[in-house]
Structure 1
Amino acid sequence: MSVEIVDIQGALWSYRRRLPAYARQGCRPDVPGRRRMGETHPGLVLRGEASSQRATFLELFLDLVFVFALTRVSQRLIADFTSDERILLSEAGQTLVLFLALWLIWATTAWITSTLEPEALAVQVVVVMTVAGSMVMAVALPQGFGDRGLVFAGAYVIVQLGRTLFFLVATRGRPIPADPAAVLRVLFWAGLTAVPWIVGGVVGEGPVRGVLWSLAVTVDYVALALGWPTPRLGRARHADQPIAGEHLAERYQQFLLIALGESIFVIGITFSGGGGAFHLDRTAGFGVALLTTVLLWRIYFYRAGHVLPDAIIQARDPARLGLSAAYTHLIMIAGIVLTGVGYELFITRPLGSKPSAWLFAILGGPALFLAGRMGFEFQVFGRVSRSRVAGLVLLGAAVPLVLDLPALAVAGTAVGLLVGVALADLWRSQGRAPEPPAPPI
């Protein structure tokens, strides 16, 4: 009989461990932030050990919105590069501001679902709010510095302020027991930067909007990096925040794949939309673009991109590493998007004369990706591969040599250097055990 009782207790304990964290709150009165039996504490539910590390279907649904959003960023950049070269810098800078706002929305949402239980109703409502607001921002983005500026800024502010206020209302002003001021800090900074966002949307087209929005998005990023320091409330200590490292790493990997998928979309639409036969020069451009995308995928996932989940879990400060990875992924994704713009340019007009500004996309995109990948590699391994440094230096050194070459030849130069980086990775891995992550943070 005693053996049967032990077996039953073991089975119940095994079943309980499979339950999501929010379903086990009543059973863990000793853990901060969890409800005791009979209590009705409305606070947000922190992730538990048994919480699934996989992205939820709702999070993947959010990613679909950002697939569309990246196509709008890409198409706006293509329009920038095919316009008057004298205003390219200004136009591209505007697109960068819009892209930074979108990425911040996605990155903070990934952070929310990596620290709070994603199956909790309050968190799901916030993700749905983000889906709606991000879709409005994406639709307004092509004219974000035109007549839809207030729509873009309004959607951004509503997402940032709205979901923070919702957390306060849903939890009756008592959000996270372990850090009651967390939501208030975010609310303070979101309200502070809402002013230049809205004013910039109201003032109309012109440099004033650019200045105000550049200031606002810079403050948003700095506040996030510093833990939203707030008068009398202090700032959040990222080291004290629980983080689902595997989940957060997977979210970064998924978004980078979204960016690669968007570039494949550009390749396909550009090549298939040319009409007529598959001319040799355009077909060569198609092949170069596809090979470049494969190489970007290979360079990212070897090895740092592959072991990122283990790196965050093993880090001395997992939350800090997870937050810093958001910035390196931002750089890599921007490089992928810019590289995709180059695809459109050299597939459409592979031969003949080209504006010199096209080099910023065709060579600058891969260079930006390698720069971000170097920083990312340091975050995971505490070192940087010489092949990536050499690739970045050679991309810069190639600029004066290819000024008078057709766009397809410039793209061939870039893909040749990326092939060299990938081959160096392959050579270094021969006969060696896979390198384990060694994050310096």
Structure 2
Amino acid sequence: MTNGEESEPGVLRSAENSQRATFLELFFDLVFVFALTRISQRLITDFTDRRSTLLSEAGQTLLLFLALWLVWTFTALVTSRLDPDQPAIQLVVVGTMFGAMVMAVAVPKGFGEHAVIFAVAYLALHLGRTLFLFLVHRRDRDVPLRLFIWLGLSAVPWLFGAINDDAGLRAVLWTIAILLDYGGAVAGWPIPKLGPAPTTEIPIAGEHLAERYQQFLLITLGESILVIGLTFSGASFAVDRTTTFLISFLTTVLLWRVYFHQAGHLLPVAITTARQPARFGRSMSFSHLFMIAGIVLTAVGYELSITHPLEHTSPVWLYTMLGGPALFLAGRAQFEYQVFARVSRSRIGGLIALVLLTPAMLLVPPLAVSSAAAAVLAAVALADALRSRRRTMPEAPTPPT
């Protein structure tokens, strides 16, 4: 942080603040455990009951997921810049927690009869939080003002989409709204004559933000464990289902291993040593978005493969069983580039292998598909381990940002 901001009293973090996440932030994350289960369950329904409209239904679920992710990542950025031990900031976190809970409850029918509830909760927590921060943040109101203006723009398609009964038009309007919200974050919320927010002047607690991303990814892996356990607990202990259960658990362990190898462990150092920590922190949001979406998709594949281990593999199921790990590896490759300015060949090799396996997987049951996906992730993890053993010196982060 700059010297001026270190000495500023009030809600800003100081250099003496603990970099660890507070208990309130961990409590806040529990809402997203529930939210991820609602997203997973909605996707499972999309891939089983509505195959004729899969693309539109899955696209709707994606929009709901993107809105929830933006709520979490904005909160993480707020508590990495402002002191989460201050009562005012704690009030912001609790209020956001309630709004996110309402959104999560509305997810199953978020594109139907609960569309207004979802959109109003989303806008209320974003606009309310931004206005509150503008009022309590005495010295630097530039970013809250910019954010409030951009949220006001996206509120129009959010609300018009919510009150419109045409699901197709709602999807178009909400797509425009989510693009405005994400586009504003990427561009730095530019406004006429002033341009984007100067990211070099926005201090954040790098170690804290890194820990928050790591915690959310672990939460997503935990939700996968929940899907595995709930699905298998409702099934018999037949050999085929038990084998698929074991493979699903192994896949989750491999996802954890691949994420935390090198880049995952060094993320705190990478953010704190980056030339523009705030910009680097925002870019982390997108690589983690891909990885988390990949894990959620993979968890949907767990339920399909445990429930139907030896049945015919529907082509659309491959989007989860192979597409989930592929999306995770794509996000992990981007993450690695953000930390080291390079991408390991094992990530690219894993992606190519999953693509090349797809045609053959149409001819085998889900048990074989899940085994193949686990084998690819195991090969990536093994390549990582061998590369680390050959390295004589620990690799330091070299973020390109």
Query: Which of the five TM-score ranges fits, normalised by the shorter chain?
Result: over 0.9
1:31 matches 2:15: no
CA distance in 2, matches of 1:279, 1:352: 14
CA distance in 1, matches of 2:157, 2:232: 41
Picking from 201, 213, 216, the partner of 1:252 is 213
1:231/1:122 CA distance change after superposition, 3 Å: farther
C-alpha displacement at 1:34, in angstroms? 4.5
1:316/1:349 CA distance change after superposition, 3 Å: same
Contact 1:157 1:194 in 2 (8 A): yes
C-alpha displacement at 1:176, in angstroms? 4.5
Q: Greater shift after overlay, 286-295 or 80-89? A: 80-89
Picking from 210, 219, 236, the partner of 2:171 is 210
Task: Flag structure 1 segments of 5+ consecutive residues without an equivalent.
Answer: 1-20, 22-27, 37-43
1:164/1:428 CA distance change after superposition, 3 Å: same
Question: SS state of the match for residue 249, structure 2?
Answer: helix
Contact 1:181 1:233 in 2 (8 A): no
Q: What TM-score do you get using the length of structure 1 for normalisation?
A: 0.88
Instruction: Give the % identical residues.
Output: 58
Q: Where does residue 127 of structure 1 map in the other structure?
A: 93
Q: Where does residue 46 of structure 1 map in the other structure?
A: 12
Q: Greater shift after overlay, 427-436 or 115-124? A: 427-436
Question: SS state of the match for residue 204, structure 1?
Answer: coil
C-alpha displacement at 1:35, in angstroms? 5.2
1:90 matches 2:49: no
CA distance in 2, matches of 1:382, 1:368: 20
Contact 2:270 2:398 in 1 (8 A): yes
Q: Deviations over 1:352-389 (max 9, x none)?
A: 21311000000000000000000000001111000110
Q: Deviations over 1:15-63 (max 9, x none)?
A: xxxxxx9xxxxxx9x8358458xxxxxxx53211101101111111110
State how many pairs are aligned: 400
Q: Deviations over 1:71-129 (max 9, x none)?
A: 00000000000023221011000000000000000000000000111112221111111
Pairs within 5 Å for 1:79-158: 79-158=45-124
Q: Where does residue 426 of structure 1 map in the other structure?
A: 385
C-alpha displacement at 1:436, in angstroms? 1.6
Question: SS state of the match for residue 335, structure 2?
Answer: helix
Q: Where does residue 263 of structure 2 map in the other structure?
A: 304
CA distance in 2, matches of 1:165, 1:33: 23
- Matched AA of 1:398: L
Question: Which stretches of structure 1, 4 residues or longer, exceed 6 Å deviation after superposition?
Answer: none
- Matched AA of 1:209: R
Picking from 399, 407, 417, the partner of 2:376 is 417
Task: Flag structure 2 segments of 5+ consecutive residues without an equivalent.
Answer: none
Q: Where does residue 24 of structure 1 map in the other structure?
A: none
- Matched AA of 1:206: A
Pairs within 5 Å for 1:297-336: 297-336=256-295
C-alpha displacement at 1:233, in angstroms? 4.5
- Matched AA of 1:314: T
1:288/1:113 CA distance change after superposition, 3 Å: same
C-alpha displacement at 1:167, in angstroms? 2.3
- Matched AA of 1:393: I
Q: Where does residue 362 of structure 1 map in the other structure?
A: 321
- Matched AA of 2:152: G
Q: Where does residue 60 of structure 1 map in the other structure?
A: 26
Q: Greater shift after overlay, 115-124 or 97-106? A: 115-124
C-alpha displacement at 1:316, in angstroms? 1.4
CA distance in 2, matches of 1:388, 1:152: 37
- Matched AA of 2:195: G
CA distance in 1, matches of 2:153, 2:205: 29
Higher Cα radius of gyration: 1
Q: Where does residue 287 of structure 1 map in the other structure?
A: 246
C-alpha displacement at 1:396, in angstroms? 0.5
Q: Where does residue 345 of structure 1 map in the other structure?
A: 304
CA distance in 1, matches of 2:369, 2:202: 46
1:440 matches 2:400: yes
